[in-house]
Amino acid sequence: MIELRTPAEIEQMKAAGRFVASVLEATRDAADVGVNLLELDALAHRMIRDAGAESCYIDYHPSFGASPFGKVICTSVNDAVLHGLPHDYRLRDGDLLSLDFAASVDGWVADSALSIVVGDADPADLELIATTERALDAAIAAATVGNRMGDVSAAIGDVADAAGLTVNLDFGGHGVGRTMHGDPHVPNDGRRKRGLPLRAGLVVAIEPWFMRGTDEIYTDRDGWTLRSKDGSRGAHSEHTVAITPDGPLVLTARAS
């Protein structure tokens, strides 16, 4: 069921957006060569506890997960493109790391993701990350009253196409509110002027994620981490966005 939020409810959701942004900033800044993925998860866990927030991940057990996630942040490295389960791995020079985090503050959820390279970066990795960011910006700009969901999806797909990338449609964006994943689904490609009419009060997580060499994925033996079928690297960018009469409002905007 699609739920529209009142202006007062969107105002309440801002606290969750600010908190999620702060955790991503902290874990991004802590990520460096030699840092263990479990250290990043522990940092996010401390911040959740200190803020009195609630993790959306630790007990999360959807049909596509082998078991409850058990951690509080997704850490996807290189060919791990989504749902990376933190494990005993120390980041290496040149690793492409995607961080995806969602939490609930006072009963409201926000969800966001970013990608970085630790150490010396391959320019191709930086361009892949920049492509997801351009796609996210284009999608947010299309998230206006009077447009349709297809306009948002097509904006993402157009950026991918211009970069010579194909798009996996198995996973995409989603509604956000009292829970992390709700209606509507936000595909990462689509046709303009098709789909759900966008109305004020709709809050969605928009999340383009691209792989450099394929659009096919498989599930790692850990039962969670999704990897590119050909071993190519992936990147992921995401924001929680409220559609308002005055335009899109990015609830998870980061200070830097």
* 79 marked ligand binding residue: no
pTM above 0.95, yes or no: yes
* 87 marked ligand binding residue: no
What residue spans define the domains of the chain? 7-250
* 59 marked ligand binding residue: no
How many angstroms separate the CA atoms of 238 and 14, rounded?
16
* 238 marked ligand binding residue: yes
SS3 of residue 206 by DSSP: strand
pLDDT by residue for the chain (256 residues), tens digit each? Answer: 899 999 999 999 999 999 999 999 999 999 999 999 999 999 999 999 999 999 999 999 998 898 999 999 999 999 999 999 999 999 999 999 999 999 999 999 999 999 999 999 999 999 999 999 999 999 999 999 999 999 999 999 999 999 999 999 999 999 999 999 999 999 999 999 999 999 999 999 999 999 999 999 999 999 999 999 999 999 999 999 999 999 999 999 999 8
* 207 marked ligand binding residue: yes
Token pair 């969670």 is found at 224
* 39 marked ligand binding residue: no
How many angstroms separate the CA atoms of 93 and 72, rounded?
24
Q: Which CATH superfamily is 7-250 part of?
A: Creatinase/methionine aminopeptidase superfamily (3.90.230.10)
How many angstroms separate the CA atoms of 54 and 77, rounded?
25
How many angstroms separate the CA atoms of 8 and 14, rounded?
10
* 9 marked ligand binding residue: no
